[in-house]
Structure formats: structure tokens, C-alpha cells
Amino acid sequence: MRTLGKLKLIAVSAALVLGMSSCLKNDKKFAIYASPAYILQEGNRYQLQIQVQGNEQIKSASASLNGKNYSFSAVEGSQNFLMQINAYSAPTLDTIKEGLCTVTAFNAEGNSAVSQLQFYGTDKKIGNVTLTKFSYSGADGKVTAEWNKVENAEAYYLLYRIKSSSMMFGDNMWLPYVQLSVTDKENPSATTNIPFTKDGEYEIAIGATYKTALRVSDRTLRVTGGKDASIN
């Protein structure tokens, strides 16, 4: 797996392919891997989110699910080895039905690679993920979080995204770093570590999942690698 600069965290991120994936025929050894992939729940609406990585540079990529088409754009700094669904052009829907999503990519020579993802319907809404404690230690990368019980949550993840050169975080989709071990479902809490690059700028959050849907915590924490940060 090729990683570049600030994007090296992606190589060790949890493989949150909430949609079950499979690879189809690829031309001349050009191949893609779709991960992470999930349906982002924002309030009561949903948006498809997929990142695709190629074993060589990707010229273009698109996805189709339930008759709707989605365009991809390159991830900044990835030299077109990584692409994500363009969040600004992707529709936000009241519901997304169960279906098989086909992701198709082309390289500079016009060779194609295809992957398929099974998404499940948004039949239950994930409750609010309300953080009561959230901190990052610059010395050792330790992250400590506490949050409320979340209705319909099946699992929790530490999420992160990298600040883009446009000075915005929302240009990049949320990436799962690790699934969190939670023993008390009534009063969830977790501790983990994330190796951010010194002086790199990031945003972290807690995500709750149900089937192939993901909901991000109501508050997030912007951090600089090597420097303490917290919200209480």
C-alpha cells in the first residue's frame, strides 16, 4: 500500500468497509480497493461516502447505487492514488435503500477496475453521539473520550480527518482509525492512541455505527500533533 506524507495514517486505519465489498474483473493488473465506505447520517438525512485507493494513479472514478450516480475527486496530497466521493455534489437523502453499489475507476491508459459494496437500508436512525469528555495528549497521542448512550449504536470508532490546504476540514471525509472497545453500554467511554505527525493539523471525533450507517459526534476536537487539546 502506497502512502504519502500526511496521508500515512490511512495505511493503519481500521478497515471500516461497512458495506460488504468484493472485487470484480480488473484490466491489466490495475486494481482498486474501496475503504472506508459508509452511509453518513447527518441529523435525519443521509449521504453516501466512499474512498477508493488504486495500486496506481486513478484518472477518474464513479459509483452507482440504487440508480443514483456519484462522482469522485482526488484526495489532496495523494497524487491521485486516493479518491473520495465529492461531498459537495453528492445528494443528501431522506433515506437510502439497501442495494449493491458499483465503483468503477480508470487509470491514465484507460484501463478499468471495478469493486462492489453491499449497503444496507437506513431502517433505524442512530441517536445523537453527545460527548461529555474528549481529550488528546500531545506527548503520547493518547485519546480519552466519554459520551452518552447512543440509541441503535452497534459499534463505536475513533474518527479523524486531515486539514486541507483550503484551511477547511470538511473537504475530507471522516476516516476510521480504530474500533473502540466499550464495556459499559450505558455509560460509554474509551481510551486509545493515535500517532499524529508533529505539528500536523487534524480533527477527531467519535463515530457510532448501525449496519452500514455512521453518525459523527455532535462535537469534534481540532488538534495539532504533539500539542494537548481537550473539550469538557
How many residues are present in the chain?
232
Please give the pLDDT value at position 9: 42
* Average pLDDT across the chain, whole number: 87
Domain boundaries, the chain: 5-119, 131-231
For 133, 134, 172, the CA distances from 69, given in Å and listed in that order, are 39, 37, 20
Cell of 112: 478499468
Segment 143-195, tens digit of pLDDT: 999 999 999 999 999 999 987 765 455 568 899 999 999 989 899 999 999 99
Q: Is residue 74 within 8 Å of 83, Cβ to Cβ? A: yes
Which of 134-148, 161-175, 213-227 shows the lowest per-residue confidence on average (mean pLDDT)?
161-175
In CATH terms, is domain 5-119 a member of 2.60.40.10? Answer: yes
Q: What is the pLDDT of residue 211?
A: 94
Same fold, 5-119 and 131-231: yes
pTM to 2 decimal places: 0.87
Task: Kindly state the DSSP code that residue 11 receives in the 8-state scheme.
Answer: G
- Decide which of 2.60.40.10, 3.40.50.300, 3.30.450.20, 3.40.50.1970 is the CATH code for 131-231: 2.60.40.10
DSSP class of residue 197?
A: P
